[in-house]
Chains A and B, each alone.
Chain A
């Protein structure tokens, strides 16, 4: 529900659309239209001869087809194809015109003739026959369907079904359960739908002590240990079964302390700086009697775990950051100005409307807060406790941002996914409540995860080569929240997941075998949603990874970050600018008494990443917020055109590397002579790699996957992927038949026509605002006129 009530008024002003140039009546083929169903998916209701609106100005591009409501999605099936759209990535769970029910924010039915409209809820009645259905989606899309030619009854039924099924009363009615269940039934461990039930991904899930052990080792947090007192969720309902605590605290003490914390949440270790300072998150102490004592104990335990026994700083997030309702209100206002208000009318006040939504303010506030904590950990060598009432919302954002700024590992794809898995999923962020899938309590709804992704995008925007992934990845990740099949976003905490899946399995008599849980795919198994080819849209061609090649004085070199050492050396606290000896650090002295200003600003993709926090340097995440807005689309423009160019070049480099590799393997004498001393001879693996592993791209999988849990079954390392390239856009290439084959060049390849600032998304048919129909667009355009200053007349030059 919008808190701003965007839709209520102006019904009177609504004019029925001009029914002129409609395509000729629906064709026979429509009867053959069948929904594509996933395992466990069933059709609830459907209507034929439905028209999906495409353009806002006229109905000539509209599509005829069948509107179907299943227990998973609203599906529109058509044989028509969209105008001017020759590209779309293929989603494996959703068709081109489909919306998951969980993504539907508001269902509005309209009857033109009677001049009525109604927002439909679950189990509501509808007293008129709808002529139009408008779906407002959580991902900012607005879809419109017309029922002029459809049977009135079936139209009504399908609308009611959509309204009803998009608001399930029980979590187990979310499609993920049926899906996971049927996959289990149908498969008994085999691959279903091309999906490997084991996961097929390499992201550590942090549901077992070994994942945490590795993380402790990776960060060098020697005075911290994995604790399993919450096994069976006996101590705290919202904590995972295992987590990390100061080594000096015994299980017995922890159990005792737990009762005094809100939600029995024992303070959780998040991360340790190479200097030993730790980042810890903690809920409030509910028992005032215990407050001081407990505070002291926890603090002293954390101090003990610090190699220099440094003090501990507490940062009270509730006092310094917006709360979840404020964030929710900000997004509602942002949605209002981005997609609800007519484009031209909102142009004049665009900047101030953006400001008054406060979304950018909040993005800045979270980034700023994270920077201040980075300063404590990095500059002051102080451990920090993030304090939040429940420790399940703001802490997730701040903890992740701090780690992204300090730890380059978190900026790799797997590192990032592990980070989200740890700090959001395992730490018990209430995804179910915050997404409000069940419409139980609107006050609990909050787009905190989107806000976090926006903060990450700001970092990515300022440091474009520091991340292994792209903004497309962030956008798709955010959209995945509304596809209710992933374990990642379905539950409030690990315990809830375990209970629900057990209950569901019991009720459906699904044999669970040893593990006692129904396996939901995590979102990290991207093969669930996209082909390997489409997944390459996630790869950032600019990424300077752990090792990257560059050319210096005509020679190709590789720099490599060896584990701990160079990591800390980049963080010596001396900003690069100072080392260059050019600039004084005077200008970094505080002007106001702010911590932030004293921080060294570094621009090292491998080291500390500090965002520029001036409001002038934070920008709207256009791809996410404006991708559906037809008027905002820049055809064959936008950052993606540079991305395209980069991808071609990187792909070309990969090809060259593999050619060179071909030489070094086919010519053994060559290989021997070319191995420099000190380097072990190439292993007899399928792809020996005496060459640097690529321009920042992890060509050799093992080097990039330090966390592979051994037990998970998975597809063999990326050989397949490697062959088909890690870049979505491929350099034009005549297949290298052997030595002497022509050499590719990417430099002169123009961007394909389908690229636009919305890529890989398309606004076509995804944003049909109400009220534009019937009002000539030209009128709106000419109506938006400019203020006139009086000086204009007086001063006009002649």
Chain B
């Protein structure tokens, strides 16, 4: 019975349930019948239903809908379970009509944001789906029905308050700010300068508040160039902003030009590099609507580099194509060329190689300015990835949280618009998987540098699951201004509360701290891989392992090492206590050696 005694290698089946973390966290839930509800979660309706599983066919069972989730459990011996946070639902449609023919043709069709679709069939008699459809529609899209998001109803309590993870002043101080060249400005305290920026900004020391106001007039949505990160060694900085309002006529703005000059001068960079994340043609096209890019004439001490990253619409279509080839079935006949035709990995490559260029410039002492159109999508991707490459602090579990809080949440990545939390308008053109793409890039980096990150793949999956779930306040709303107005940080729980209250399952055991190391991943198709454990996780043919076997084995070995260490210390202690050569007097336990050595052994 060797196999049964290796708990570590059991492939713990990840049933068709929402996510592995849901079941883990269930420890904290109150058991109630079949469904363990979260504090604050309330049951709304139960119903007999048929789940049309794309893998197993029609399954009879019962569905429970709460204000947080859809939970399905099939009847019979072989239980299939679905556990879907309502926040993950992007679309609910009626399928078939009362007169539709054919078995199971009458029911509901649910499209999810997390790469799966669900189909349920009901009895055709008596409008059996009306109530469930309406309830689902209401609770899946609460904001469209004047209801609060679940995060505001949740009563969950955690040991740690995740809202304290990120304190802007602390983070800037960690970076060594302010300096004699960079100062901290409170000009945006009431969101008056820029309503999508955070309150605390770092700007060139020489720039007056008046300068900032003037520059704001020349930058799209007043998102002026501000410091994101400074290199302690060479004082080179990453500055982020939105596009300049050049327009068709090629307007210039002396204040903006002078402002960029101040950034350049701050560490004596000879040429300030401006990375425009967009493809050249897009930047030109933006002139038609008042935007544009920094021209050579106006910014003589700057070089402009286009990074050719496409816009949110291209990314959305790319992910849609990807879903088509992985769900429900993996395209087998022409897998690689199908994957290529989604361009998903190619986009990942462009984002990563853009970030590499940013990081390379900065680590060689050149300050850079990064922008796209508005500076909240591609710009966030580029600055945060570059910072991840440059600063090992962001590669720790807590540092990564700070990075997300700062570059994404703080600087106004429009999570609400991109994800569409609680909003029924599934076809909204503002939705786009920009953040998912960023997390994918991070995952690619962890694959290439298995020892460089303190967190593991599981953390990334949990982040993505709660990006949609609306259980935590972390990813809600578009910017800090709106968050403050909605009292988000007092009325909801942070995802980091969950994560930091029990970090053990998010820690990468291979992590080796290397504080000054700059990571340069290879942004080549030869190394980029589809993140199958995320994108293809609903396919039951892939028996998911809860944890990577290598990680698991490493943990076991660590435990074994610790046992032996303890053992040895005890032996040394007992050995040397009569004599004198004692070095480890701090041994905690005084158990007799014989007792322990037998524990080290197992009968053969």
Instruction: Give the interface of A toward B (CB within 8 A).
Output: 343, 347-352, 354-356, 360, 463-465, 542, 544, 549-552, 554-561, 566, 569-570, 576-577, 579-580, 582-589, 591, 597, 601-607, 612, 614-617, 619-620, 622, 626, 629, 631-639, 641-642, 644-646, 649-650, 652-653, 656-657, 659-660, 663-664, 667, 670, 673-674, 676, 678-679, 690-692, 695, 738-743, 747-751, 757, 785-789, 791-793, 795-798
Which are the 5 A-B pairs with shortest beta-carbon distances? A584-B78, A587-B540, A615-B335, A355-B336, A583-B13
- Shortest beta-carbon distance, B71 to chain A, in Å? 16
7 A–B contacts, CB within 8 A, in A order: A577-B543, A612-B542, A660-B597, A796-B285, A797-B374, A797-B377, A798-B374
A641 touches B346 (CB 8 A): no
In the complex, which residues of chain A have a beta carbon less than 8 angstroms from the beta carbon of B584? 740, 743
CB closest residue in chain A, given B530: A616
Closest CB of chain A to B405's CB: distance in Å? Answer: 24
Given contacts A580-B13, A639-B450, A739-B581, contact A679 B601 (CB under 8 A): yes
Give chain A residues whose Cβ lies under 8 Å from the Cβ of B286: 796, 798
| Residues on the A chain within 8 Å of B173, using CB | none
- The contact of A614 among B289, B542, B558, by CB within 8 Å, is B542
Q: Decide if A569 touches B3 in the complex (CB within 8 Å).
A: yes
Q: Across the interface, do A556 and B290 meet the contact criterion of CB distance under 8 Å?
A: no
Contact yes or no, B2 A622, CB < 8 A: no
**Which of B526-584 touch A at CB < 8 Å?**
526-527, 529-530, 532, 536, 539-543, 545, 549-550, 553-554, 556-561, 563-565, 567-569, 571-572, 575-576, 581-584
Q: Are B576 and A691 in contact (CB under 8 A)?
A: no
Other-chain residue from A349, A360, A676, A796 in contact with B598 (beta carbon distance below 8 A): A676
Q: Which of B77, B79, B350, B601 contacts A558 (CB 8 A)?
A: B601
Question: Is B436 close to A, CB under 8 A?
Answer: no
Contact B313 A791 (CB under 8 A): yes
Per the 8 Å Cβ criterion, residues 452-499 of B in contact with A are 452
CB within 8 Å for A348 and B346 given contacts A616-B326, A740-B581: yes
B10 x A576 contact (CB < 8 A): yes
Q: Is the beta-carbon distance between B568 and A788 smaller than 8 angstroms?
A: no
Q: Are A570 and B3 in contact (CB under 8 A)?
A: yes
B557 touches A646 (CB 8 A): yes
Docked pose: A607 CA to B313 CA in angstroms: 48
Known: A551-B559, A786-B279. 8 other contacts (CB 8 A): A550-B8, A550-B556, A552-B7, A602-B11, A603-B9, A646-B550, A656-B561, A748-B512
Contact call A604/B9, Cβ cutoff below 8 A: yes
Say whether A586 contacts B78, CB under 8 Å: yes
- Within B355-377, which residues are at the interface with A (CB < 8 Å)? 373-374, 377
A632 touches B310 (CB 8 A): no
The answer to whether A622 touches B451, judged by C-beta atoms less than 8 angstroms apart, is no
Q: In the complex where A634-B521, A649-B558 touch, is A642 in contact with B451 (Cβ < 8 A)? A: yes
B604 and A560 contacting across the interface, CB-CB below 8 Å: yes
* Contact between chains at B450 and A679 (CB < 8 Å): no
| B279-A641 in contact (CB<8A) | no
Instruction: Evaluate whether A695 and B55 lie within 8 angstroms (CB atoms) in the complex, with A743-B569, A797-B374 already known.
Output: no
Q: B interface vs A, CB < 8 Å? A: 1-13, 15, 53, 55-56, 59, 74, 77-80, 220, 278-279, 281-282, 285-286, 289-291, 308, 310-314, 317, 326, 330, 332, 334-337, 339-340, 343, 345-346, 349-350, 373-374, 377, 429, 448-452, 510, 512-514, 517, 519-522, 524-527, 529-530, 532, 536, 539-543, 545, 549-550, 553-554, 556-561, 563-565, 567-569, 571-572, 575-576, 581-584, 593-594, 597-604
Which one of A352, A649, A692, A748 lies within 8 Å of B557 (CB-CB)?
A649
A750 touches B512 (CB 8 A): yes
Query: Which residues of the partner chain B approach A634 to less than 8 Å between Cβ atoms?
Result: 448-449, 521-522, 527
For the complex, what is the distance from the CA of A328 to the CA of B348, rounded to whole Å? 33
B600 and A642 contacting across the interface, CB-CB below 8 Å: no
Contact of B11 among A349, A577, A633, A795 (CB under 8 A): A577
Which of B53, B59, B337 has a CB less than 8 Å from the CB of A352? B337
Q: Which of A742, A788, A791, A792 has the most CB of B within 10 A?
A: A792
B542: nearest chain-A partner, CB-CB? A612
A566 to chain B, nearest CB (A): 5
Asked if A558 contacts B602 (CB within 8 A), the reply is yes
Contacts of B312 in A (CB 8 A): 797
Instruction: Please state if B2 and A561 are interface contacts (CB–CB under 8 Å).
Output: yes
Contact between chains at B11 and A614 (CB < 8 Å): no
In the complex the two chains form, is A649's CB within 8 Å of B561's CB? yes
**Shortest CB distance A521–B (Å):** 35
Q: From residue B40, how far is it (CB to closest CB) to chain A in Å?
A: 28
CA distance A462 to B44 in the complex (A): 43
Q: How far is the CB of B518 from chain A (nearest CB, A)?
A: 11
Note all chain B residues with C-beta closer than 8 A to A589.
56
Chain B nearest CB, measured from A232 CB (Å): 44
Q: How far, in Å, is B197 (CB) from chain A's closest CB?
A: 18
A626 (CB) vs chain B CBs: closest residue: B526
How far, in Å, is B339 (CB) from chain A's closest CB? 6
Shortest C-beta distance, B37 to chain A (Å), equals 21
> Are B576 and A739 neighbours in the complex by a CB distance under 8 Å?
yes
Q: Cα distance A579–B6 when bound, in Å? A: 14
Q: Note all chain A residues with C-beta closer than 8 A to B529.
A: 619
Q: Is the CB of B281 within 8 A of A793?
A: yes
In the bound complex, CA of A678 to CA of B568 (Å): 24
Q: How far is the CA of A664 from the CA of B597 in the complex (A)?
A: 9
- Are A606's CB and B2's CB within 8 A? yes
* Cross-chain contact B334 with A692 (CB below 8 angstroms): no
A616 near B600 with CB under 8 A, answer: no
- Distance in angstroms between the alpha carbons of A690 and B598 in the assembled complex: 10
Q: Is B335 a contact partner of A584 (Cβ separation < 8 A)?
A: no
Cβ A351 vs Cβ B311 within 8 A: no
Would you give the shortest CB distance from A23 to chain B, in whole angstroms? 27
Pick from B313, B540, B568: contact of A743, CB under 8 Å: B568
Cα(A430)–Cα(B394), bound, Å: 55
Bound Cα distance from A584 to B12, whole angstroms: 13
A743 contacts across to B, CB distance below 8 A: 565, 568-569, 584
B419 to chain A, nearest CB (A): 16
Q: B601's contact among A583, A584, A692, A798, by CB below 8 Å, is which?
A: A692
**Known A-B contacts A650-B557, A674-B597, A692-B601; A615 and B330 likewise in contact (beta carbons under 8 Å):** yes
Q: A582-B13, A582-B15, A586-B78 are in contact. Are A637 and B521 (CB under 8 A)?
A: yes
| CA–CA, A352 and B561, complex, Å | 46
Residue of A nearest to B317 (CB): A791
CB-CB under 8 A for A792 and B279, given A349-B340, A556-B560, A577-B543: yes
